[in-house]
């Protein structure tokens, strides 16, 4: 405790006297970054915290604007220098190679690596632009910019106090960004950190914490989404549908592969893909469906896969009002043993390990599909495809209850199905339209089957 | 019903005699107390009472009564015997059959060619082995169950022959034998008994094993009402390609109380009726010489007089056939193990390692002890059950028969595998018959009702029996009847303070020989513990027990052990008393088995107690659930890395 207190005091002193300028510089450089020494009287607390708390905390801390303004003129210089380096070397092509080249240029320019902290901060910020934010080798290369062995404490006093805090914090920042992008450091990272900061430094501790948690969290998601989603819309639909259904028996059927055709009148006709999924138990349920009650095609519902959004449709029915009647016990059912005990004794309360689950009034879902277009004609094609394996659909009235399509859910990432949906749904914009005449529907469906 | 009410009046008298207390509220509790305290006196009474019942039917089954913590010792003591004449008859029958199997049957060839050669079949027919249980007036040997079991010991030396014979007469023609009318018997049995016609039993279908509701084969009555037309297909039919006469189960429409319903009926179908075709023989792991194939029926016309029993009564026929055919597996397995002991002990005595013969090594000795004990127990159970079935009246020994089947199929498998182990690598080659025995033996736990299904049958039948009787008492207890509760508590306390359980097996009027007293005591303790366990299980699970398969399995296992203990106790007591050859060895075997089974039973029943730490069921279910959800082994590979 005592030690820590000393450390804090010393640090704040040093900061006050020495390098308020610098810290202010990068605080504006990285507004979301961790260390933002505020007003001098609060410095002590904040700086000491920055090693132990996440950046999220410091982000919310109000940065006094006047303070930043004051420093603006001074800090601009070095900032511009580093940014320029990136702009200079890699003007048009922003790739891993050019990024590496920038780093190389910087390292070769000056033996003393002057301004390397600023450079690293700038590089960190530029990484997503160059598309290298998930590349462990690039992070290692960036750490390699630090001069080696200079910041390693050599005696117990140095070790006790925060040795080269700016550099250490910069190192932590590199690791922090790795953490945010879910990149697990490797042995090279560790070697570099030991070489640069020594084995008890703050970056090293950050490294150890990451190495403690990351492997443990690697498989926490039982339904992982691959980083690279399939490009082909049919494959994507297949993947998404199996993901929603989560049933090993469920069978995916491609009712229509997407293709473009030229009609007789010379217009281009694009036929959207239609991919559906249905499990044997769903087929069984559908076969037991009361034909006098309608089934509904509903949708679109969104499904997010990382930052892609896809839409799906379901074929469902209203919850059956009548209770399912139990099959009467047939004593002549099993040749080998009685299927029921003829005793007037219930399970004892003490051994009743079941608990009440409130039943939701949600009807059965018979099938799901994804399609390039969300209009009724396309979905009708799906239903007619389903009818081949579920003959009962020929007798059941099918109602289409389609929403006007994805609007606000579109979000930042425009998906493949997204924009097309937008256009499709505009054509029949009557939201939640209900078409009920089954007689009119029947022939259309058979047409769809012929196709 | 008669027994129960009789027992009640009797105990009430006892209550009045022993403790002169005011009745009513305390009555029930005391009845319970007394039930347990005075077994010997009661036994006398019961014997008298039973004698009076005998003439009607014997409804006091032995195994079922164990569920109530009672020992119906009159059923199993003394061990059943055959008369002198019958013993002589057995001698005359056994010798030629043994000779035939030793000299004429080439099992290796049968296995290799997957066919029983015609000359062997003819030999079997000449010996009359195709009609062992067919009465003499129909040209069969008319053997009792006991003698049938004795011959099964020998026929079991070749698995293919044993299965062919069993499919023919234990199930194939059994329907005609037990449920057929005189005309049917006269028409079919003589030719079947002589082996001129081979029989098969057609029940299993692609979509139906034990489930009668999913039988698809249908018999429709023709318009003139003279015959049925059978359509459908049956799979895994032993003798399917060779059979001339088949017992076929099919769905028929029955009108009962004005309501049309589908019911199962049994038919005698001749191949000569036309429309019967059999598929390619299955290529099997073991019993390769026996024929198993699919049989298809395409509009097979079957005259109405060929219905076995009545139309719609096929379910009962099927159940009776299945239940009655199982007991002989005990003696078959025992016969096989006895043969294996001969074969392996010779090897163990001659093979030398480190200048010592194999037979001097403890681990090898253990295997022989295991085989001997198993053979002894199987034999004892098989002939006890056969003897019970041979007694006059209509005995219901289906639970006992199922017990014998389970024990002998599993014991047989272990013993065959251990016998092969004695020979090591040699046993694994085709130069020795062991690998064939291992393959043949593997079918035993599967056919004639899988062991899992039979365990359910045993446990549920017993629970049903116990439940009928105990329901009233348990209901009182659940309602909070002080009297009953005190009665229970008293009983528990008494057993806790070490008052020994006494069913009168030992002691002055005991039926067990004093040299087996220890084992008999262990058995009695087990039975008493079993009774209370069953009671608490009924209390805890009631009729929802059907779904507690892991519990039912343990209940069945305990019962199997208890019945096995009974059988060895009874048999060796008799052996000592009549001075049978090597009866001291029997006592040794019996004592070894009983103490072994005693501890196993205690462990099993401890697992059945509430909150027992020995019970891992919840975990077992969870493991299975997780594996089955993913349909794969889901652990990551030990060499996998996460960083």
- Give the pLDDT of residue B267: 95
Give the pLDDT score at A23.
41
Mean pLDDT of A330-353: 84
Looking at the fold, whether A84 and A155 belong to one and the same domain comes out as yes
Q: Which residues of A touch B456 (CB under 8 A)?
A: 336-337
**Residue B271: is its pLDDT beyond 70?**
yes
**Phi, psi (degrees; rounded to nearest 5) at B268:** -95, 120
Domain boundary among A192, A217, A242: A217
Residue holding tokens 């040795």?
A: A163
Interchain CB contact of A212 with B (< 8 Å): no
How many angstroms separate the first and last alpha carbons of chain A?
A: 79
Query: For residue B592, what are its two tokens?
Result: 């070894």
Q: What pLDDT is stored for residue B177 in this prediction?
A: 92
Give domain status of residue A429, yes or no: no
Residue A22 has pLDDT above 70, yes or no: no
Instruction: State the average pLDDT over residues A15-40.
Output: 42
| Residue A244, in any domain of the structure | yes
**Burial (CB count <10 Å: 0-12, 13-18, 19+), residue B119:** exposed
Same domain? For A195 and A100 the reply is yes
- Count other Cβ atoms within 10 Å, centred on residue B457: 26
Question: Does one domain contain both A212 and A239?
Answer: no
A152 and A285 in a single domain? The answer is: no
pLDDT tens digits for A290-334?
888 899 999 899 999 988 899 999 999 988 766 566 677 777 888
Please give the DSSP secondary-structure letter assigned to residue B352. Answer: E
A20-29, B123-132, B212-221 — which is least confidently predicted?
Answer: A20-29
Interchain CB distance below 8 Å, A343 and B322: no
The arithmetic mean of pLDDT across residues B333-360, rounded, is 93
Given a contact cutoff of 8 angstroms between Cβ atoms, the answer to whether A310 and A410 are in contact is: no
B195 touches chain A (CB under 8 A): no
**Distance of CA A328 to CAs A325, A332, A333, B263, B603, Å?**
9, 11, 11, 15, 38
Query: Do A211 and A89 belong to one domain?
Result: yes
Domain range spanning residue A163?
75-217
Residue B643: list chain A partners with CB under 8 A: 184, 211, 214-215, 218
Instruction: Average the pLDDT over each of A348-352, B175-179, B582-586 and give the range with the smallest value.
Output: A348-352
User: Going by CATH, does the domain composed of B453-626 fall within 3.10.20.30?
Assistant: no
For residues A315-327, one letter each, b for 16 or more C-beta atoms within 10 angstroms of the residue's C-beta and e for the rest, the string is bbbeeeeeeeeee
Give the integer Cα–Cα distance in Å for A52 and A45: 11
Q: Does B96 touch chain A (CB under 8 A)?
A: no
Q: What is the pLDDT of residue A321?
A: 67
B20 to chain A, any CB pair closer than 8 A? The answer is no
pLDDT in tens, B276-312: 999 999 999 999 999 999 999 999 999 999 999 999 9
Q: Please enumerate in sequence order all residues whose Cβ is within 8 A of that of B146, keeping only pairs 6 or more positions apart, or say none.
A: B80, B82, B86, B383, B386, B387, B390
Chain B residue with the nearest C-alpha to that of A344:
B471
How far does B465 lie from chain A, in Å, by closest CA? 9
Average pLDDT for residues B318-332, to the nearest whole number? 89
Domain end (from A165, A192, A217)? A217
Over 70: is that where the pLDDT of B14 sits?
no
Shortest distance between the Cα of B450 and any Cα of chain A, in A, equals 9
**Closest chain A C-alpha to B209 CA, distance in angstroms:** 8
Q: Which helix (H) or strand (E) holds B353?
A: strand B352-353
Q: Which two tokens stand for residue B615?
A: 């019970």
Q: Both A308 and A181 in a single domain?
A: no
Q: How many other β-carbons are positioned within 10 Å of the β-carbon of residue B153?
A: 24
- pLDDT category at B27 given cuts 50, 70, 90 is very low
pLDDT at B393: 79
Q: Does domain B317-448 have CATH number 1.10.3720.10?
A: no
> Is the bond preceding residue B78 a cis peptide, omega within 30 degrees?
yes
Within-domain flag for A171: yes
* Residue range(s) occupied by CATH 1.10.540.10 in chain B: 60-68+75-194
Asked whether the beta carbons of residue A341 and residue B467 sit closer than 8 angstroms, the reply is: yes
Per-residue model confidence (pLDDT) at position B160: 95
Classify residue A157: in a domain, yes or no: yes
Residue recorded with tokens 């072994």 = B596
What is the average per-residue pLDDT within B135-161?
Answer: 94
Mean per-residue pLDDT, A178-200:
94
Do B318 and A335 make contact, defined as CB atoms within 8 angstroms? yes
The full 3-state SS of B127-159, as one line of letters, equals CCHHHCCCCHHHCCCCCCHHHHHHHHHHHCCCH
Q: Which two structure tokens, joined as six digits, stand for A299?
A: 């949708």
pLDDT confidence bin for B496, thresholds 50/70/90: low
Residue B380 tokens, joined: 């004892």
User: Is the domain of A278 the same as that of A409?
Assistant: yes
Cβ of A350 within 8 Å of Cβ of B610? The answer is: yes
Which string of DSSP letters, residue by residue, matches B484-536? HHHHHHHHHHHHHTTPPP--SSSSTT-SS-GGGHHHHHHHHHHHHHHHHHHHH
**SS3 of B248, please?**
strand
- Asked if B358 and B349 count as a contact pair (C-beta separation under 8 A), the reply is yes
Distance from C-alpha of B437 to C-alpha of B417, rounded to nearest angstrom: 9
Q: How many domains does chain A have?
A: 2
Task: State whether A153 and A257 are in the same domain.
Answer: no
- pLDDT above 70 covers a percentage of chain B that reads 90
What mean pLDDT, rounded, does chain A reach? 75
Q: Which residues of A touch B453 (CB under 8 A)?
A: 336-337
- The alpha carbon of residue A347 is apart from the nearest alpha carbon of chain B, in Å, by 4
Instruction: Flag if B643 and A184 touch (Cβ within 8 Å).
Output: yes
DSSP string, A192-205: HHHHHH-TTSHHHH
User: Which residues in chain A are contacts of B546 at CB distance < 8 A?
Assistant: 338-341
pLDDT at A324: 60
Task: Determine the average pLDDT of the residues in B321-331.
Answer: 88
Q: Is the pLDDT of residue B398 over 80?
A: yes
Confidence of residue A121 (pLDDT cuts 50, 70, 90): very high
Q: Which residue of A has its CA nearest to B643?
A: A215
Decide if pLDDT at B199 tops 60: yes
Q: Same domain, yes or no, for A293 and A164? A: no
The reply to whether B212 touches chain A by the CB within 8 Å rule is: yes
Mean pLDDT of B466-482: 87
Nearest in space to A299 (alpha carbons), one of A333, A274, A329 = A274
Q: How many CA atoms lie within 13 A of A310 on its CB side?
A: 25
Is pLDDT of A213 > 60? yes
H-type alpha helices, A302-416: 376-389
Q: Cβ contacts of residue B473 below 8 Å, gap of 6+? A: B28, B32, B484
Residue B462 pLDDT exceeds 90? yes
In a domain, A442, yes or no: no
CATH number assigned to the domain covering B199-310:
2.40.110.10
Residue A6: pLDDT over 50: no
B88 in active site? no
A262 and A211, same domain (yes or no) = no
In whole angstroms, what is the distance from residue A69 CA to residue B198 CA?
A: 106
Total CB pairs under 8 A between chain A and B: 102
Pick the residue with more confidence: B380 or A364?
B380
Which CATH number describes the domain made up of B60-68+75-194? 1.10.540.10
Q: What is the largest CA-CA distance in chain B?
A: 83
Residues of chain B with CATH 1.20.140.10: 317-448, 453-626
- Residues A278, A394, single domain; the answer is yes
Please tell me the predicted confidence (pLDDT) of residue B448.
86
Crossing angle between the packed helical segments B398-423 and B314-324, to the nearest 10 degrees = 40
Question: Final residue of a domain: which of A176, A193, A217?
Answer: A217
pLDDT at residue A427 greater than cutoff 70:
no
In sequence order, the 6+-apart residues with CB closer than 8 A to the CB of B338 are B153, B375
Indicate the SS3 state at residue A282. helix
In the set B153, B270, B294, B448, the catalytic residue is B448
Query: Mean of the pLDDT values across residues A22-32?
Result: 42
Q: pLDDT (tens digit, 9 = 90+) per residue, B45-96? A: 444 333 333 344 455 689 999 999 999 888 899 999 999 999 999 999 999 9
pLDDT digits over B96-119, tens only? Answer: 999 999 999 999 999 999 999 999
Predicted confidence at residue A82, as pLDDT, reads 62
Write down the pLDDT at residue A16. Answer: 46
Q: Is A245 in the same domain as A305?
A: yes
State mean pLDDT over B139-164.
94
3-state secondary structure (DSSP) of residue A346: coil
Residue A44 pLDDT > 50: no
Judging contacts by C-beta atoms under 8 Å, the chain A residues touching residue B210 are 334-337
Whether ipTM > 0.90 holds is no
> Is residue B25 over pLDDT 60?
no
Contact status of A351 with chain B (Cβ, < 8 Å)? yes
């Amino acid at each position: 405790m005592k030690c820590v207190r000393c450390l804090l005091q010393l640090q704040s002193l040093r900061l006050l006297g020495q390098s308020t300028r610098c810290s202010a510089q990068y605080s504006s450089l990285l507004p979301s970054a961790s260390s933002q020494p505020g007003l001098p009287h609060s410095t002590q607390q904040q700086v000491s915290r920055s090693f132990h708390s996440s950046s999220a905390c410091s982000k919310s801390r109000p940065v006094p604007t006047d303070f930043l303004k004051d420093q603006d003129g001074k800090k601009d210089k070095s900032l511009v220098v580093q940014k320029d380096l990136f702009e200079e070397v890699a003007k048009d092509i922003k790739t891993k190679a050019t990024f590496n080249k920038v780093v190389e240029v910087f390292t070769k320019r000056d033996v003393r690596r002057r301004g390397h902290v600023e450079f690293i901060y700038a590089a960190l910020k530029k990484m997503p632009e160059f598309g290298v934010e998930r590349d462990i080798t690039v992070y290692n290369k960036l750490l390699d910019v630090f001069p080696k062995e200079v910041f390693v404490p050599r005696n117990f006093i140095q070790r006790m106090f925060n040795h080269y805090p700016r550099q250490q914090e910069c190192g932590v920042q590199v690791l922090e960004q790795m953490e945010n992008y879910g990149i697990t450091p490797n042995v090279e990272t560790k070697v570099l950190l030991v070489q640069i900061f020594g084995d008890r430094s703050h970056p090293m501790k950050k490294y150890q914490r990451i190495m403690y948690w990351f492997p443990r969290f690697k498989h926490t998601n039982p339904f992982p989404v691959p980083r690279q989603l399939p490009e082909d819309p049919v494959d994507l639909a297949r993947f998404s549908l199996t993901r929603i259904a989560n049933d090993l028996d469920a069978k995916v059927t491609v009712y229509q592969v997407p293709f473009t055709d030229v009609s007789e009148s010379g217009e281009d006709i694009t036929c959207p893909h239609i991919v559906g999924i249905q499990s044997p138990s769903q087929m069984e349920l559908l076969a037991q469906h009361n034909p006098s009650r309608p089934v509904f095609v509903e949708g679109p519902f969104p499904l997010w896969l990382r930052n892609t959004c896809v839409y799906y449709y379901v074929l469902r029915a209203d919850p059956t009002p009548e209770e399912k009647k139990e099959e009467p016990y047939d004593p002549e059912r099993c040749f080998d043993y009685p299927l029921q005990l003829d005793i007037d004794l219930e399970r004892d309360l003490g051994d009743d390990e079941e608990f009440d689950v409130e039943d939701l009034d949600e009807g059965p879902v018979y099938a799901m599909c994804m399609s390039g277009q969300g209009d009724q004609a396309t979905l009708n094609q799906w239903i007619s495809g389903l009818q081949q394996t579920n003959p009962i659909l020929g007798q059941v009235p099918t109602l289409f209850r389609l929403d006007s399509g994805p609007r606000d859910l579109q979000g930042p990432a425009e998906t493949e199905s997204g924009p097309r949906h937008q256009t499709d749904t505009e054509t029949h914009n009557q939201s939640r339209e209900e078409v009920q005449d089954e007689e009119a529907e029947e022939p259309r469906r058979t047409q769809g089957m012929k196709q | 019903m008669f027994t129960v009410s009789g027992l009640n009046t009797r105990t009430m008298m006892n209550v009045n005699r022993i403790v002169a207390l005011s009745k009513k509220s305390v009555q029930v509790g005391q009845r319970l107390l007394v039930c347990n305290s005075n077994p010997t006196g009661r036994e006398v009474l019961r014997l008298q009472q039973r004698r009076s019942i005998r003439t009607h039917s014997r409804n006091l089954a032995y195994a079922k009564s164990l569920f109530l913590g009672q020992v119906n010792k009159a059923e199993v003591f003394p061990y059943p015997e055959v008369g002198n004449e019958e013993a002589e008859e057995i001698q005359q029958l056994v010798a030629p059959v043994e000779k035939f199997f030793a000299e004429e049957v080439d099992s290796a060839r049968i296995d290799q060619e997957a066919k029983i050669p015609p000359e062997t079949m003819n030999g079997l027919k000449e010996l009359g082995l195709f009609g062992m249980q067919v009465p003499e007036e129909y040209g069969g040997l008319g053997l009792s169950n006991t003698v049938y079991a004795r011959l099964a010991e020998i026929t079991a030396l070749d698995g293919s022959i044993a299965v062919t014979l069993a499919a023919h007469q234990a199930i194939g023609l059994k329907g005609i034998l037990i449920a057929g009318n005189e005309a049917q018997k006269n028409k079919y049995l003589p030719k079947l008994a002589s082996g001129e016609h081979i029989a098969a039993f057609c029940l299993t279908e692609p979509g139906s094993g034990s489930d009668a509701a999913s039988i698809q084969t249908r018999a429709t009555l023709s318009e003139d009402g003279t015959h049925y037309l059978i359509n459908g297909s049956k799979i895994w039919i032993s003798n399917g390609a060779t059979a001339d006469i088949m017992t076929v189960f099919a769905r028929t429409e029955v009108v009962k109380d004005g309501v049309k319903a589908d019911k199962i009926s049994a038919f005698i179908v001749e191949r000569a009726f036309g429309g019967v075709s059999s598929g390619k023989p299955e290529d099997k792991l073991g019993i390769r010489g026996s024929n198993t194939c699919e049989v298809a029926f395409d509009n097979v016309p079957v005259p109405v007089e060929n219905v076995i029993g009545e139309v719609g009564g096929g379910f009962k026929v099927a159940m009776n056939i299945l239940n009655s055919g199982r007991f002989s597996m005990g003696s078959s397995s025992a016969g096989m193990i006895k043969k294996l002991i001969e074969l392996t002990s010779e090897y163990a005595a001659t093979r030398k390692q480190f200048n010592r013969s194999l037979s001097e090594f403890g681990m090898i000795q253990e295997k022989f002890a295991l085989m001997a004990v198993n053979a002894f127990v199987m034999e004892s159970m098989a002939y006890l059950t056969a003897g019970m079935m041979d007694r006059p009246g209509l005995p219901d020994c289906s639970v006992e028969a199922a017990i014998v089947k389970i024990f002998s199929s599993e014991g047989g498998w272990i013993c065959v595998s251990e016998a092969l182990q004695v020979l090591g690598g040699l046993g694994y080659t085709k130069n020795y018959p062991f690998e064939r025995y291992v393959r043949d033996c593997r079918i035993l736990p599967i056919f004639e009702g899988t062991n899992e299904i039979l365990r359910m049958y045993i446990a549920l039948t017993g629970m049903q029996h116990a439940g009928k009787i105990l329901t009233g008492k348990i209901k009182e207890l659940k309602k909070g009847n002080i009297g009953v509760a005190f009665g229970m508590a008293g009983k528990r306390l008494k057993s806790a303070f070490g008052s020994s359980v006494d069913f009168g097996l030992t002691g002055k009027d005991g039926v067990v020989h004093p040299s087996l007293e220890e084992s008999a005591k262990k058995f009695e303790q087990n039975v008493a513990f079993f009774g209370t366990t069953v009671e608490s299980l009924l209390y805890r699970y009631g009729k929802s027990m059907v779904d507690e398969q892991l519990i039912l399995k343990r209940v069945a296992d305990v019962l199997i052990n208890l019945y096995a203990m009974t059988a060895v106790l009874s048999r060796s007591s008799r052996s000592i008393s009549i001075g049978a050859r090597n009866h001291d060895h029997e006592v040794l075997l019996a004592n070894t088995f009983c103490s072994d089974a005693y501890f196993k039973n205690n462990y099993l029943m401890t697992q059945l107690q509430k909150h027992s730490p020995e019970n891992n069921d919840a975990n077992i279910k969870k493991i299975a659930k997780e594996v089955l959800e993913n349909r794969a082994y889901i652990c990551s590979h030990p060499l996998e890395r996460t960083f």
